[in-house]
Amino acid sequence: MNFKDTILYLSKAVVFGLVMAAVFLFVNSITNNNSFNNGLTTTQHHNELSFASAVRRAAPAVVNIYSLSLDQNSPLNSSSLQGLGSGVIMSKEGYILTNYHVIKKADEIVIALQDGRKFTSEVVGSDQITDLAVLKIEIDGDNVPIVPINLNNPAQVGDVVLAIGNPYNLGQTITQGIISATGRNGLSSGYLDFLQTDAAINAGNSGGALIDTGGELIGINTAAFQIGAEGGGHGINFAIPIKLAHSIMGKLITNGRVIRGALGISGEPLSPVMAQILNLPDLKGVLVTGVDPNGPASKATLRPRDVIIQYEEESVPGVEMLMDRIAETTPGNQVNITIIREGKPLELPVVIGEKLPTDS
C-alpha cells in the first residue's frame, strides 16, 4: 500500500468514526428527551390522580358532632361524649349543616373542629322530611374554616367525588367514588331527591361533605342503601344535593322550620290506558286519584279523575314536578291550575294551604 492509499484509508476511517459518533449523540439525545418527557408525564399524571388539594380545601370545614349525654341512672348525673356523625361549616357566622337524624336524640351537642377546638352548639332548626338540620356555634368569624360552594355547578353522573366524615368515630376519613345517579331538586320527599354515589358512607359519615375534585361541596352525605336488617356495603349511598340543602338551610335559619305549600291531593302519572279512557290527546299531566275533603283542592272543586296539565301556566310533565311546585308555593297564595275534565280544559284558582306532617 503506497502513501496515497494509506491516507485515503485513514480518511475513510476518520469520516466513518465521526458519522457513528454523530448518530450516537443524536440517538442519546432523543432517548434523554423521551425519558425527561416521560418523567414529566408521570408526574403530571400523578398530580391528576391526587385529590390532596381538594381535601385541603374542604376537610377543615367538616366537623365531628358529639352528644353530651346525661346518665340519669347515675347519682352524680355523670356525662359522656358519644359520637353521632359529621357536619359542615357553611358560613363565617358559624352555621353548620348536618342531618336531622344525627342530632335528633342528643341532649347537648358538641362540635369538634379538625384543629382541636370544641364548641357547644344550638339547634337553629330541623326538617325531618329532607333529613336536614342547622346548628350554630359561637366562633370568631375570622378564624372559621368554610367549605367552598358553587351552586351553579350541579353534579353529573360519572363525576368523581369524595366523601368526608367521621365513620365509626375513628376520626376524619376520606372515601372516593363516582356519582352513580342524580335526581331532582325540590321540597317534596323521596329518594329521587338524592345523589347516588358508590363512595363509602358508613355510620358517622352522615351529615358530612360530599365534594368534587376541586374541593367544592356538592352534597350532604345522608344514608347507605340497606336491605332488611343488613347494613350498607352495597356501594349504593345517598347524599342530599347542595342546591336543595342550601335552600333548606336558608329556610331553617329564617323560620326555624321549612314551610311548605299543600294542595290536598294524591296523584299518579297518566297511563296510556287512562289517557284513552279519558279521551286525552297525550300522556302529559297528573291524574288526580284522591282529594282531601278538607283541603284546598276540595274547596277549589278538584275531583278524582281530573288531570292537572298546568300549574301557574307551567306544563306539568309528572308527579314529582307538580309536588315540588306546590311545596315551593307560600301558603295563602292563590295559584291557577289548568285541568282536563271530561275531555275539556278548565282553569281553577286555588288558595294553597300549609303542608302538615300528616299531609300527602
- Could you tell me the CATH number of the domain that includes residue 305? 2.30.42.10
Same domain, residue pair 239 and 175: yes
List of residues 6+ apart from 260 with CB closer than 8 A: 129, 187, 327, 328, 331, 354, 355
Same domain, residue pair 232 and 175: yes
> How large a percentage of the chain has pLDDT more than 70?
77
Same domain, residue pair 60 and 40: no
- What pLDDT was estimated at residue 360? 41
Domain of 180, CATH number, reads 2.40.10.10
39 — phi, psi (to 5°)? Answer: -60, -45
Same domain, residue pair 270 and 350: yes
Domain-ending residue, one of 218, 245, 272: 245
**Measured distance CA(133)–CA(222) in Å, rounded:** 12
**Measured distance CA(178)–CA(154) in Å, rounded:** 14
Would you say the C-alpha torsion 92, 93, 99, 103 has a positive or negative sign? positive
Question: Higher model confidence: residue 77 or residue 314?
Answer: 314
* pLDDT at residue 10 greater than cutoff 50: yes
Q: pLDDT tens digits, residue range 107-160?
A: 899 999 999 999 999 999 999 989 999 999 998 878 899 999 999 888 999 999
SS3 177: strand
Same domain, residue pair 276 and 203: no
Asked whether residue 51 is assigned to any structural domain, the reply reads no
For residue 170, the enclosing domain spans 160-245
Burial (0-12, 13-18, 19+ Cβ within 10 Å), 305: middle
**Measured distance CA(223)–CA(82) in Å, rounded:** 20
Same domain, residue pair 109 and 184: no
Angle at 257 between CA 251 and CA 263, to 5 degrees: 90
List of residues 6+ apart from 228 with CB closer than 8 A: none
Question: Higher model confidence: residue 295 or residue 140?
Answer: 295
Same domain, residue pair 96 and 178: no
Asked whether residue 350 is assigned to any structural domain, the reply reads yes
pLDDT bin (cut points 50, 70, 90) of residue 306 is: very high
* pLDDT at residue 297 greater than cutoff 50: yes
Our count of domains for the chain comes to: 4
Q: pLDDT tens digits, residue range 40-84?
A: 444 444 456 799 999 999 999 999 999 876 666 654 455 567 888
**Measured distance CA(31)–CA(265) in Å, rounded:** 75
Burial (0-12, 13-18, 19+ Cβ within 10 Å), 153: middle
Same domain, residue pair 134 and 100: yes
**Measured distance CA(262)–CA(350) in Å, rounded:** 11
Domain-ending residue, one of 184, 213, 245: 245
Same domain, residue pair 71 and 9: no
Domain-ending residue, one of 95, 117, 143: 143
- What pLDDT was estimated at residue 44? 46
* pLDDT at residue 204 greater than cutoff 70: yes
Same domain, residue pair 274 and 338: yes
Asked whether residue 359 is assigned to any structural domain, the reply reads no
Asked whether residue 151 is assigned to any structural domain, the reply reads no
Pick from 136, 127, 126: nearest CA to 89 = 136
Same domain, residue pair 265 and 345: yes
Mean pLDDT (the chain, rounded): 84
Give buried/exposed letters for 275-299 (b at 16+ CB in 10 A, else e).
beebebeeebbbbbeebbeebbbee
Pick from 244, 262, 264: nearest CA to 130 = 244
- What pLDDT was estimated at residue 243? 92
Asked whether residue 256 is assigned to any structural domain, the reply reads no
Asked whether residue 185 is assigned to any structural domain, the reply reads yes
**Measured distance CA(42)–CA(289) in Å, rounded:** 61
Pick from 327, 324, 75: nearest CA to 185 = 324
Same domain, residue pair 64 and 103: yes
Please say whether the beta carbons of 340 and 360 come within 8 A. Answer: no
Asked whether residue 36 is assigned to any structural domain, the reply reads yes
Give catalytic residue positions.
101, 131, 206
Asked whether residue 253 is assigned to any structural domain, the reply reads no
* pLDDT at residue 257 greater than cutoff 50: yes
Residue 327 C-alpha cell reads as: 311545596
Pick from 131, 109, 2: nearest CA to 63 = 109
